[in-house]
Amino acid sequence: MIDLERVRAETPGCLDRVFLDSAGSSLPPAPVLEAVVGHLRREAEVGGYVAEEERADDLAGVREGLARLLGCAAEDVALLDGATRAWTQLFYAVPLAAGDRILLSRSEYASNAIAALQRARQHGARVEVVPADRSGELDLDALERTLDERVRIVSLVHVPTNGGLVNPVAEATELVHRSGGLVLLDACQSVGQLEVDVRSLGVDALAGTGRKWLRGPRGTGFLYVRPELARELEPPILDLHSATWTAGDRYELAGDATRFELWESDVAARIGLGAAVEYLLSPGVDEVASAVRARADLLRSLLREIPGVTVTDLGRRPSGIVSFAVDGVPAATVRDALAKRRVTVTVSGRSSTLLDMTDRGLEAVVRASPHYFVSDEQLEAAAVAVSELISI
């Protein structure tokens, strides 16, 4: 059971404003803040190396916590500084040859698409897009039709940056594996708000971030890699942590997901990420997931009642990201006007999810992403604030 009063008391930022940007960068709870600040203080007292040594067990616990969250072993998790770094470390390690095919989802995130285009150009490979079905989810029939042995890697986006859509990852992964391709899952917007288990999804690798639904510090991210695959791939950038210099002309790669990491890191932020994962695991992901969905469903239904407001979420069962447009009012104007009313939302512009937004003729949407610390009363207040904008 979630003790909402306690959670809210431990999230001071949520008390005097309606904070609806956990899809951007959420509010870390007090234990996360204390973990980060406490470690920074300790570094100032004894130096970064001694401070790190003192927390060796807790640092090992970060990987263990993420492993419990994702349903894998601690050795299958690499700690990085964001979802993009995690995604690219894996993506650039997959060998490509001329004529190979890279498949993207229609709701692909810009950074992934840019990396795919760059690699395709470098290797003479092709980037192709799997269309969406009528609900907006990845079209499984179209995916099945297009798959062949030239498809090396398929990027699936679990939840896109611009709305509540949840893609059918397990079903898509099964199809991709039948034709011998790899699946790299962008779980940046799903881990922390949905149950994400790599065993049931079956993906080969997964990239996530700390600062969003996990409520961790900025500059934290993680990569899961299936252990057999991790041992096959050589990441694009190595150092003395991901590999060992064994002879004048040789080095040996780490035997597990560590090979995707680099030595230097923001140790305080990592400890904070560990605290955030424990904070989430304490009520349990299922509790948090159903609370987030209930908040988002309520907000969607309140927004739908306002004339002139269109909810733009796709998919059969949208998640915690609520996207909408207000007739005649640009998304940035809505965001700024809501900020004046102490409601925090963001704007998701066309270039972040170019293919999807272009297909739907959208220039920008307002994105509201309530985490479980937002109360129903606050959602009602946010909807009133939106309705007041209709006349501006």
Ligand X SMILES: Cc1ncc(COP(=O)(O)O)c(C=O)c1O
- Under the rule (CB under 6 A), what is the footprint of ligand X? 82-84, 109, 111, 157, 160-161, 186, 188-189, 209, 221
- Whichever of 369 and 378 has its CB closer to ligand X, that residue is 369
Comparing CB distances to ligand X, the nearer of 107 and 146 is 107
For residues 293 and 179, give the distance between their C-alpha atoms in angstroms, rounded to a whole number.
Answer: 34
Minimum distance, C-beta of residue 106 to ligand X, in the bound complex (Å): 13
Q: How far is the CB of 189 from ligand X (least distance, A)?
A: 5
Q: Where are the alpha helices (DSSP H) in 140-261?
A: 140-146, 169-178, 198-201, 227-232
Q: How far is the CB of 295 from ligand X (least distance, A)?
A: 19
Neighbours of 354 (CB within 10 A): 15
The whole-angstrom separation of Cα 356 and Cα 365 is 12
Q: Which is nearer to ligand X, 182 or 383 (CB)?
A: 182
Residue 116 beta carbon to ligand X: minimum distance, rounded to whole angstroms? 13
Min CB(45)–ligand X separation in Å:
31
Residue 220 or 378 with smaller CB distance to ligand X: 220
Q: Which is nearer to ligand X, 312 or 378 (CB)?
A: 312
Of residues 153 and 188, the one with the C-beta less far from ligand X:
188
Q: DSSP letter string over 326-369?
A: ETTB-HHHHHHHHHHTTEE-EEEEGGGGHHHHHHTT-SEEEEEB
Helices (H), the chain: 4-9, 30-46, 48-54, 56-70, 83-91, 110-123, 140-146, 169-178, 198-201, 227-232, 267-281, 285-304, 331-340, 354-359, 376-389
Report how far residue 128's alpha carbon sits from residue 30's, in angstroms, rounded to the nearest whole number: 44
83 vs 382 by CB, closer to ligand X? 83
CB of 250 to ligand X, least distance (A): 33
Q: What is the DSSP letter of 17?
A: S
Q: C-beta of 212: minimal distance to ligand X in Å?
A: 7
The distance of closest approach from Cβ of residue 119 to ligand X in the complex, given in angstroms and rounded to an integer, is: 17
Question: In angstroms, what is the C-alpha Rg of the chain?
Answer: 21
Task: In angstroms, give the least distance from the CB of 306 to ligand X.
Answer: 26
Q: Which token pair is 41?
A: 């203080």
381 in Cβ contact with 15 (< 8 Å): no
Q: Is there a contact between 130 and 141 (Cβ–Cβ < 8 Å)?
A: no
**Residue number, 80 or 302, with CB nearest to ligand X:** 80
Nearer to ligand X, 111 or 173 (CB): 111
Beta bridge partner(s), residue 207: 186, 223
How far is Cα 327 from Cα 275, in angstroms, rounded to an integer? 42
In b/e form, how buried is each residue of 365-379, taking b as 16+ CB within 10 angstroms? Answer: bbbbbbbbbbbeebb
Q: Which is nearer to ligand X, 278 or 356 (CB)?
A: 356
**From CA 116, how far away is CA 128, in angstroms rounded?**
10
The least distance separating ligand X from the CB of residue 148, rounded to whole angstroms, comes to 27
Q: Which two tokens stand for residue 366?
A: 């307002």
